[in-house]
Amino acid sequence: MDVRAIFELPVHIWVMCDPLDATYSTGFGELRFSVVMPKDHPPFGGPPPVPGVEAHAELVGEQVVWVQEYGAHIPESLQPATALHRVAVTDVEGPSYDHVSWFTPEHQLAECVTEWFNDVRTWVEIVTGQDLDPNHRVYDAEPVGAGLTFIEPSNDGLGVTIATPRVLPLRAQEWADTLGLVRDGKKPPLEEVLSRDARAAQRRNANRRAIIDAATALEIALGRHVRGLADQLPETQRRRINERTALGDYISIAEHSSLQLAVSVDRLRWLKDLRNAAAHRGAGPNNWDAGTAVQLMIDFLGAHGRLRRTGERETDGGEWVLADPGDDVDDAQPVDEGSTEGGSPRI
């Protein structure tokens, strides 16, 4: 049976316009399928040329959004861009099971599509910094005093808080790479998932959780970096590395070994202290410190993690670079120390 379907994304994903009007290979587990992108008809797009779509009025009507251009700050090098709402799914191929003959490819697709999207959005969040959590949305416009109805004095509302988001859309190759990584079952590095979680928590004012996740991500990346340079460390510092070595130990080892890091030892120790206060005393930092700490983590992971960042992605769209997953040794070359002062995180 030729399985074809339309999938409405639980949360729209910002992409450049060049991935539109194209087909991409993806999959989940043993299931393989293609994602057919909408037509590039600004500003709303149109259904892809998939047989059978036009016969469904509910899929091609004026009220059906395939892509949508919203107000957002987008780097000039990544324009034009649009928000992807729907895709077509074709070429569905899956295994057959004699003991569950009913579990055909369309059933397999229905069962895995939510997990497929979760893996896709995780990679997109890591690569671009987009916030795509379908279970805890952060909206650009929110009413003041939502749910509050005044009896006296009479008042229909006190206003609306509106923000224009800063968005980094996916390039066509990044979209293709993301779908391919999910198809091949490749998971992001743990520290990058924790980095995503820290950013999401900080956006939702969950500062205590943001600090704990940010520091854990930092500990993983710094520990790998220090262990990778073990043969270059002084003997006294090398002997300090064992299964129980923690974040504070790694910071001390890096300091006493005069390792060149993208973030100063003082700033790393500051984040470690925030983590200890959050984990052991239940203390949550203020919004400014949480934002600064998350940015510090992003800067460190961008220089020393498995997913390297080149350039200032926020302004010029510098691409991420995937370090060799089989190589646990980070580059031993000195890194210019970057500034971690400032406001909201960038990736």
3-state secondary structure the chain: CCCCEEEEEEEEEEEECCCCCCEEEEEECCEEEEEECCECCCCCCECCCCCCCCCCHHHHCCCCCCEECCCCECCHHHCCEEEEEEEEEEEEECCCCHHHCCCCHHHHHHHHHHHHHHHHHHHHHHHHCCCCCCCCCCCCEEECCCCCCCCCCCCCCCCEEECCCECCCECHHHHHHHHHHHHCCCCCCHHHHHHHHHHHHHHCCCHHHHHHHHHHHHHHHHHHHHHHCHHHCCHHHHCCCCCCCCHHHHHHHHHHCCCCCCCCHHHHHHHHHHHHHHHHHCCCCCHHHHHHHHHHHHHHHHHHCCEEECCCHHHHCCCEEECCCCCCCCCCCCCCCCCCCCCCCCC
* Distance (Å, whole) CA 328 – CA 182: 22
Which position has the higher pLDDT, 141 or 86?
86
In percent, the amount of the chain with pLDDT more than 70 equals: 84
Q: Residue 337: what pLDDT?
A: 30
Kindly report, residue by residue over 184-232, the tens digit of the pLDDT. Answer: 999 999 999 999 999 999 999 999 999 999 999 999 999 999 999 999 9
- For residue 236, is it left (φ>0), alpha (ψ between -120 and 50) or beta? alpha
Taking residues 329-333, report their average pLDDT. Answer: 38
Average pLDDT, the chain: 84
Using one digit for the tens of pLDDT, what is the confidence trace for 148-183? 777 767 766 667 676 677 888 999 999 999 999 999
Kindly state the average pLDDT of the residues 90-94: 91
The rounded Cα 38 to chain-centroid distance in angstroms is 23
pLDDT of residue 315: 39
In whole angstroms, what is the distance from residue 182 CA to residue 288 CA?
35
Q: 191: Cβ–Cβ under 8 A, 6 or more apart, which residues? A: 216, 217, 218, 220, 221, 301, 305, 306
Structural domains of the chain sorted by starting position, each given as residue range(s) with its CATH number in brackets: 5-128 (no CATH), 189-322 (1.20.120)
Q: What is the model's pTM? A: 0.83
Per-residue pLDDT band for 329 (boundaries 50, 70, 90) equals: very low
